[in-house]
Amino acid sequence: MTDVLRRGRASLAFGFFAQGIAFALLVTRIPAIQDRYGVSDALLPAFLAAVPVLAGVGSVTTEWLVKRIRPSQVLRWSQPVVLLSLLGVGAGDRLVELGVALAAFGLAVGALDASMNMLGVSLQRSYGRSIMLGFHAAYSLGGIVGASLAWVGAHWDLALFVAYAPVVVVLVPGALVGSRWYVDENRVGVEGGPAGGAGGGFVFRALLPLCLVMTFAYIGDATVSNWSAKYLQDVLGSSEQLATVPYNVYMVTTLVGRAVGDMGVRRFGAVAVVRGGAVVAAVGFAVVAGAPGAWVGMLGFTLLGLGLCVIVPQTFAAAGRLFPGASDVAVARLNVFNYVGFLIGSPLVGALGDAWSYRGAMLVPMVLVLVTLVYARSFRSQPDRYGGGYERSRTADVGRGGHGL
């Protein structure tokens, strides 16, 4: 494997890691942001919903941009904007300033998520074996680091700007330096066929099964993110302190599952790994729904982390395989359904919990994630069954490596 590819892989992994930190620092300090700006409980959902909506706009815009410039250039400049807009959230004191900062954050996050996964898909194609889960493992690690830094800031009662500034000061230069080694795949890819860019051959109807899988996976993820603490405390009778544990456990198991997931794909293939993840996640929701107490409930959330963690990275990878001549377009469109799932998940569980029961509400994402089994064939592609005798013997010519600013 060439040094260009190795440097490209390391620098992209750092980009995923930095994004995990930034996103965790935002979402885990929402109560502090609400207090700082005096956002009412009635207005808060509108502010929170605006971020994924604008992120969807940013992802669609990226699809247009990469027809004209390389994905690495989009990533190179969107990541600093994300980090600086996070600092803007901590620096302002008026609602309009919060709105501007969150709008910039949302638009830049959409461009960042899309371009990162575009580069991940093309690098995986160049490597000729599964590496996509490793990038998302770096994101999970960043999320754990970001949540830990947020805890430190809350524990020491640090102002948001004071808590965010050191992180931004470190990560912005790191991201800019790392961006020198981003690798864009040539328009002529592996095995002599077209690859990468926004060329022809894209049919949205063929992508739709993966869009549904992405949506259902993020409904499950949003359920854990938004309802695990409330569920443990209000339904399973845990203490307030214990109720904070499930999400941390979920993040750790997500990291572990993604760290070893690429080996599973290389050995057993993407279809088997995705099917296994869907079954494990469904069992996790079933355990949560039927848990007699808090500790059994935490076991369920642990299983959820191990199951859901493999689905999203493999969905991006499958989109790249499905449209080898238009993978950037496919990734950008698919990325929008990340935010669709996020927007649907939390309100769906809340509405069902209020109208029916929260135990019953946990069965809905369980059923949705099982639908992944129906669409598992969309993940099948013989060239992706890397390892175990299936690894390709050569890689792409990556002549347009991302050196220089």
CATH number for the domain that contains residue 55:
1.20.1250.20
pLDDT at residue 380, rounded to an integer: 84
Residue 22 inside a domain? The answer is yes
Residue 400 inside a domain? The answer is no
Residue 68 inside a domain? The answer is yes
Residue 300 inside a domain? The answer is yes
pLDDT at residue 316, rounded to an integer: 97
Of 58, 180, 183, 67, the closest CA to residue 120 belongs to 183
Which range marks the domain in which residue 127 is found? 3-185+196-384
Return d(Cα 6, Cα 9) in angstroms, integer.
5
Residue 165 inside a domain? The answer is yes
* Distances from the Cα of 113 to the Cα of 59, 106, 193, 387, angstroms: 7, 11, 26, 28
pTM exceeding the 0.85 threshold for the entire prediction:
yes
pLDDT at residue 110, rounded to an integer: 98
* Distances from the Cα of 254 to the Cα of 211, 314, 379, angstroms: 21, 14, 20
pLDDT at residue 397, rounded to an integer: 38
pLDDT at residue 158, rounded to an integer: 94
Residue 403 inside a domain? The answer is no
pLDDT at residue 390, rounded to an integer: 39
Residue 353 inside a domain? The answer is yes
Residue 405 inside a domain? The answer is no
Question: What's the average pLDDT block by block, 10 residues per block, for the chain (405 residues)?
Answer: 90 98 92 92 89 96 95 98 97 95 98 98 93 97 92 91 97 97 66 42 90 97 91 91 86 96 95 97 98 96 96 96 92 97 92 94 97 93 45 41 37
pLDDT at residue 201, rounded to an integer: 65
Give, in degrees to the nearest 5, the angle at Cα 14 between 8 and 16: 105
Number of domains in the chain: 1
pLDDT at residue 42, rounded to an integer: 87
Instruction: Report H helices in 238-326.
Output: 245-268, 270-290, 294-308, 311-322
Return d(Cα 66, Cα 196) in angstroms, integer.
10
pLDDT at residue 113, rounded to an integer: 98
